[in-house]
Structure 1
Amino acid sequence: MTASPRFPFSAVVGHDDLRLALLLNAVHPRIGGVLVRGEKGTAKSTVVRALASLLPSLDVVADCRFGCDPGAPDPQCPDGPHDGAVVQRPARLVELPVGATEDRLVGSLDLERALTEGVRAFQPGLLAAAHRGVLYVDEVNLLHDHLVDLLLDAAAMGRAHVERDGVSVSHAASFLLVGTMNPEEGELRPQLLDRFGLTVHVAASREVATRTEVVRRRLAFEADPVGFAAQWAEADAELAARIAAARDRVAEVVLPDAELRRISALCAAFDVDGMRADLVLARTAVAHAAWRGATTVAEQDVAAAARLALPHRRRRDPFDEPGIAEDQLQQALSEAAEQADDGDEPPDGPDDGPGGGQPPEEPTEPSGGGGEEHSEESGRAPADRPSGEPTPAFRARLLEVPGLGEGAPGRRSRARSRSGRSVRSSTVEGSGVHLAATLAAAAPHQVARGRSGPGLVLRRDDLRRAVREGREGNLVLFAVDASGSMAARERMSAVSGAVLSLLRDAYQRRDKVGVVSFRGDGAELVLPPTSSVDIAAARMRRLRTGGRTPLADGLLRVRKVVRVERLRDPQRRALVVVLTDGKATVPVNPELPGPRSRRAVDDALRSAGLLAAEGAASVVVDCESGPVRLGLPGQLAAALGAPCLRLEELSADNVAGVVRAARDADRAA
């Protein structure tokens, strides 16, 4: 059966940076791959898959499952030594599914041969299949962290090492790594971002003519894939020939000392960590020179490389905006030109330009507000006052939901998992075969089953499954009292710092985080549950304060969010953190007769009971201050069945106390 043709690479409209990044990696695979960031529906996957047809065909050793090069076979190849027979095949594009297991990625014991022949043999994984080709990971930001670490290590070293199930194997695994992701679905950790050689951000064009041409070509391809591909075959062939010629030329390209100093000055100017950026920038500049047919790296090659290699390395913190503005890059290139022309070593002083590590000036974001202090006695604040820039977050400790969950892979709470460590065997639960337990169950019955010769005689009853335990991501919901009585600067700063600390922690641990703010006459979901720290930080900066305290409405809104998220993801457990002084002033139905404040408190306690019935773990942070304290947060905590902590206790060293209190309350219940 003939495979359907892919959309031609040459037929892609726009996305010049993405196409260039992919082509440069095809010319010089040691660059380290490409991470493609962009909104949904921007043809990220289409462009990546189209690249495979441009790569030159490969000579491989016949019958080698690891794709060894006949001219330089891997001396450690598990299928070696080779007899020298050679075959030719196209370069492969291997796709790594988000739900892949570690065995599927790196390989594992060949279970069939182990059980039938009694030998330990290695079954190659996707890393072996991708050797000398392209390994493509769609939605790489949703891939489990330990799998990302494995494939990035292999991409950096050019080898895969497997030590598991009694098998010790090392084989060549040199491939072009390409990952695509939608930032709205969550970010990669900065450490992982840095491991990708180049990063490109793609977005749909806002030009009518460009969008029209995109739709026209796509419809033409869907109507006649073979005919459409034939129209672009000549253009793709020219690109393929240019890639092959550039590959042959890249080893001869000269990188002058002046351009090497320019590269070092650029990396110092943008204050990137380590030396990986310098190496990637140098390799990319060499590849760009080879691509344009030059034999010497020039300033234009360094500038092109910087646009692709530096933006994601500037992101020192998850709350930093990714990317480099063009004026910043031009300023840095201008300053780096002085270093390129100067044969002396860059100065060491902190005020000596790029050599001193001073980044170029960047525009500062205007503060969201400011304003005067608020009178706590009045219970009010100037209407709709922005809270201003949040206080810098403190270092968060692990906040863990009690019990054993079964949620999405993450790095926070204990959970049953398909990819974690094996903790025991079972006949009724678990995933995959627990080999040792299966063999142990079958071994005593071999004589009775008439076994003769190698191998084991197995029965269905011998099968044992591996029960694995790993970590899961959770849903952390903040219910933030932003009323006038809470608007004193020190308390809102502490609340903002606590929320931002957990947002940063959630980014690293693959959680979803949401924020419900209540003030004035009602509650607002200011941050729908998300894993995107870009969105989270922006929403927190716009958090507004002032007005009365509709505590009951806030708790009911949180309850609604918990219920909706449970329908979307039934396995993801929730933890609700309520930050309030408890001074409810707005009842659920203000039109009813009776003392308004008393009804507001009673409604808040009833709402807390409804939220507790949803089964979410909760913590109340008591933000009440002043000489007279009513103890309302304690009553609220009792209604929620949750621990209650003072605001001043929610420090870097006491976040763990919140967790222990939540766990103890859960066990007591």
Structure 2
Amino acid sequence: MGARFPFSAVVGHDDLRTALLLNAVHPGIGGVLVRGEKGTAKSTVVRALAALLPELDVVPGCRFGCDPAAPADCPDGPHGPGVERRPARLVELPVGATEDRLIGSLDLERALTEGVRAYQPGLLAAAHRGVLYVDEVNLLHDHLVDLLLDAAAMGRAHVEREGVSVSHAASFLLVGTMNPEEGELRPQLLDRFGLTVSVRASRDVATRTEVVRRRLAYEADPEGFAARWEAEDAALAARIVVARSRLASVALPDAELRRIAGICAAFEVDGMRADLVVARTATAHAAWRGADEVAEQDVEAAVRLALPHRKRRDPFDEPGLEEEQLDDALRQGEEAARETGDDPDGPDDGGPDGDGPDGGGPDGGGSEPPDGPLGSTSDTDAPGGAGSPERTHAPAPAFRARLLQVPGVGEGAPGRRSRARARTGRVVRPSTVDGSGLHLIGTLAAAAPHQAGRGRTGPGLELRGEDLRRSVREGREGNLVLFAVDASGSMAARQRMSAVSGAVISLLRDAYQRRDKVGVVTFRGREAVVALPPTNSVDAAAARLRALRTGGRTPLADGLLRARRVLEVERVRDPRRRPLLVLLTDGRATASGTGGDPVRDALRAAALLASDGVASVVVDCESGHVRLGLAARVAGALEAACLRLEELSADQVAGVVRAARAA
């Protein structure tokens, strides 16, 4: 294996390099999340960082890398004398890692052969005092992300499982990388990362030329290329050591502490984690530049790295800081820094919760379009002929969505919606034919009655192949949620379409939190179109729906058939991910691509989806005092549950229910 690409040789990405170096100086900052498009050297920079970290003194033979000068409460202790020196480790956590691999588990070999309970450390132990790198962290199971973030925040890992109770030191520099096109992290998890940096390829020709030149030179001679940058990397490594040594002596004046509090208050961040991270980052920045106390420039540098992802309260908010917003916050921080008293509180208006100032409200039941369009207009086919305006509608405020599930038990695509067999999750039973991992209790119970007959006289158990039992685990899976949205003229009344758009946005937020893949099919006029092919980026789906145009006839059959084709393709592409079709319509079918009866064609298309075994939910968007119940007929043909629009709100339904059709 050749030398790693040198840290100093990376072109650009100044914010990323600064964030990584500050975390190397002060691991208590809480790690770095690197967001960026593919091919932007995210992994290259992170792997290069490990070579800059100083070598470690460790206890010889300790599996947890304990420091001889400050021995912790170690499962391998008490330790004897002696010191061993080794480089800091870069430990990579793969996307497919299990909980056992991350936090460790019972040492099965010793348990089965010696009859003792012994702990086998995981990757958290291996990463102690080094770097834990998680590529594609947004694709990692949520419960694994929670575990590693807890360990990073506390500096210790706690294991309570399979009769093992262990606590060990786990202090590491956590770095996660992700491509936002493949889905976002939940805001709750984003907040747990100390700093975040967005990287993108430069559009400057000279910069791009230099990137290619250096990469080709490295590939031609890795060792020689690394040697040319050795002095620069050595200088950075030495600077990290010096900054670490002076970190404890850097003062944080009260004026700068008030500045930090004023800025975080101006951003209306939730909780106090942001204030603490900014304070630690500013202190590390001051130590990095050799100062004795934190100054305004340190706070501003920290704010730019620590606050962008904490502004993102709603899943569909854009991450990042606008310069105007940052300038306003810095001005408020300046005012707070000048205060001489210790009463920095001001009015707490709560602020928006990510939903924005969208108008609308519950469906008021109107059936006629309002005077004047909400968006741009043009002529298209209307229910009664040509000439009706085409409209866009602002969504009504979003709400907490009711849980819609696919019935039965799936194969376990990562997620949090429907029941599934999985490699992680709770153990429901032992099995001899399927399962994941060894079911220890079941194996021992199967072997125990046969020990006398097998002639066992000493300690331990004699095991045979027929004794082995596997753990059948049940967890939650993500699904493909395909929205089929009726955008015809009969849906175009202002309150109705705004309510429909608000409901779909609410369901999309729920899909985001449950790690679903989503797609959108819309139908109006003469045909149905795939507005968004199935993707993990639900914010892209939200953007398409906010720009949804309405008007024209209702080709309901074409919409259902187009949805069926999308699901057929996805069944081949991603067979483990079970689909859930959510059809939002008033049930009025007024057009058909075949030229036949629109209603009969729509019911036939619905029956085809039902014969495919597609779990479906029909959301009846009909309003007004007189209701025709047409959506219920479509639901019957789909063998689907039929919900009223207002029944999608979890706050209006007691408990969490299954709304998909019965298995």
TM-score (norm 2): 0.93
User: Which of 392, 395, 398 is residue 390 of structure 1 equivalent to?
Assistant: 395
Kindly indicate whether residue 305 of structure 2 is the aligned counterpart of residue 308 of structure 1: yes
Q: Tell me, yes or no, if the aligned pair for 1:34 and 1:200 is still in contact at 8 Å.
A: yes
In structure 1, C-alpha distance between the alignment counterparts of 2:387 and 2:358, rounded to whole Å:
25
Q: Tell me, yes or no, if the aligned pair for 1:550 and 1:587 is still in contact at 8 Å.
A: yes
Which deviates more from structure 2 when the two are superposed, residues 626-635 or residues 88-97? 626-635
In structure 1, C-alpha distance between the alignment counterparts of 2:383 and 2:562, rounded to whole Å:
27
- 1:610 maps to 608
What letter is aligned with 2:234? A
- 2:639 maps to 641
- 2:363 maps to none
- 2:90 maps to 93
- 1:210 maps to 207
**Structure 1 residue 646, shift from structure 2 partner:** 3.2
**Structure 1 residue 383, shift from structure 2 partner:** 4.0
- 2:3 maps to 5
Kindly indicate whether residue 267 of structure 2 is the aligned counterpart of residue 267 of structure 1: no
- 1:291 maps to 288
**Structure 1 residue 583, shift from structure 2 partner:** 1.9
What letter is aligned with 1:533? V
Q: Tell me, yes or no, if the aligned pair for 2:489 and 2:551 is still in contact at 8 Å.
A: yes
SS where residue 195 of structure 1 aligns? coil
**Structure 1 residue 364, shift from structure 2 partner:** 9.4
In structure 2, C-alpha distance between the alignment counterparts of 1:234 and 1:157, rounded to whole Å:
35
In structure 2, C-alpha distance between the alignment counterparts of 1:380 and 1:310, rounded to whole Å:
51
Kindly indicate whether residue 504 of structure 2 is the aligned counterpart of residue 507 of structure 1: no
**Structure 1 residue 216, shift from structure 2 partner:** 1.4
**Structure 1 residue 293, shift from structure 2 partner:** 1.2
In structure 2, C-alpha distance between the alignment counterparts of 1:174 and 1:415, rounded to whole Å:
34
In structure 1, C-alpha distance between the alignment counterparts of 2:231 and 2:118, rounded to whole Å:
45
What letter is aligned with 2:11? V
- Give the 5 Å matches for 1:439-478: 439-478=444-483
In structure 1, C-alpha distance between the alignment counterparts of 2:245 and 2:548, rounded to whole Å:
56
**Structure 1 residue 61, shift from structure 2 partner:** 0.4
**Structure 1 residue 369, shift from structure 2 partner:** 3.8
List alignment gaps of at least 5 residues for structure 1.
Answer: 591-597
Structure 1 residues 602-638: Cα deviation after superposition (integer angstroms, max 9, x where no partner): 2222222222232211122222345665443232222
Kindly indicate whether residue 558 of structure 2 is the aligned counterpart of residue 586 of structure 1: no
In structure 1, C-alpha distance between the alignment counterparts of 2:547 and 2:602, rounded to whole Å:
26
Query: RMSD of the TM alignment (CA)?
Result: 2.4
User: Which of 638, 662, 666 is residue 662 of structure 2 equivalent to?
Assistant: 666
SS where residue 412 of structure 1 aligns? strand
Q: Tell me, yes or no, if the aligned pair for 1:507 and 1:533 is still in contact at 8 Å.
A: yes
What letter is aligned with 1:173? A
**Structure 1 residue 347, shift from structure 2 partner:** 5.0
What letter is aligned with 2:41? A
- 1:79 maps to 76
In structure 2, C-alpha distance between the alignment counterparts of 1:627 and 1:386, rounded to whole Å:
25
What letter is aligned with 2:231? E
Q: Tell me, yes or no, if the aligned pair for 1:480 and 1:516 is still in contact at 8 Å.
A: yes
SS where residue 666 of structure 1 aligns? coil
In structure 1, C-alpha distance between the alignment counterparts of 2:321 and 2:349, rounded to whole Å:
20
Pair 658,140 (structure 1): closer, same or farther in 2 beyond 3 Å: closer
Aligned length: 647
What letter is aligned with 2:71? P
Which deviates more from structure 2 when the two are superposed, residues 170-179 or residues 490-499? 490-499
**Structure 1 residue 232, shift from structure 2 partner:** 1.1
- 2:414 maps to 409
What letter is aligned with 2:597? R
- 2:56 maps to 58
- Give the 5 Å matches for 1:98-177: 98-177=95-174
**Structure 1 residue 457, shift from structure 2 partner:** 1.5
- 1:438 maps to 443
SS where residue 69 of structure 2 aligns? coil
User: Which of 64, 67, 83 is residue 69 of structure 1 equivalent to?
Assistant: 67
What letter is aligned with 2:286? A
Structure 1 residues 446-493: Cα deviation after superposition (integer angstroms, max 9, x where no partner): 222222322221111111101001000111111111111110112112
- 2:364 maps to none
List alignment gaps of at least 5 residues for structure 2.
Answer: 361-372
What letter is aligned with 2:571? R
Which deviates more from structure 2 when the two are superposed, residues 14-23 or residues 580-589? 580-589
In structure 1, C-alpha distance between the alignment counterparts of 2:190 and 2:62, rounded to whole Å:
33
Structure 1 residues 346-392: Cα deviation after superposition (integer angstroms, max 9, x where no partner): 45442xxxx88889xxx9999994489x99974777444222x2111
SS where residue 333 of structure 1 aligns? helix
SS where residue 572 of structure 1 aligns? coil
What letter is aligned with 2:142? D
TM-score (norm 1): 0.92
Q: Tell me, yes or no, if the aligned pair for 1:321 and 1:534 is still in contact at 8 Å.
A: no
Pair 121,379 (structure 1): closer, same or farther in 2 beyond 3 Å: farther
Structure 1 residues 213-272: Cα deviation after superposition (integer angstroms, max 9, x where no partner): 111111211121111111111111111111111111111111111111100000000000
Kindly indicate whether residue 486 of structure 2 is the aligned counterpart of residue 481 of structure 1: yes
In structure 1, C-alpha distance between the alignment counterparts of 2:134 and 2:46, rounded to whole Å:
10
Q: Tell me, yes or no, if the aligned pair for 2:503 and 2:645 is still in contact at 8 Å.
A: no
Kindly indicate whether residue 532 of structure 2 is the aligned counterpart of residue 520 of structure 1: no
**Structure 1 residue 647, shift from structure 2 partner:** 3.2
- Give the 5 Å matches for 1:346-357: 346-350=343-347
Q: Tell me, yes or no, if the aligned pair for 1:619 and 1:658 is still in contact at 8 Å.
A: no
**Structure 1 residue 648, shift from structure 2 partner:** 4.1
Q: Tell me, yes or no, if the aligned pair for 1:187 and 1:532 is still in contact at 8 Å.
A: yes
Pair 410,644 (structure 1): closer, same or farther in 2 beyond 3 Å: same
Which deviates more from structure 2 when the two are superposed, residues 636-645 or residues 402-411? 636-645
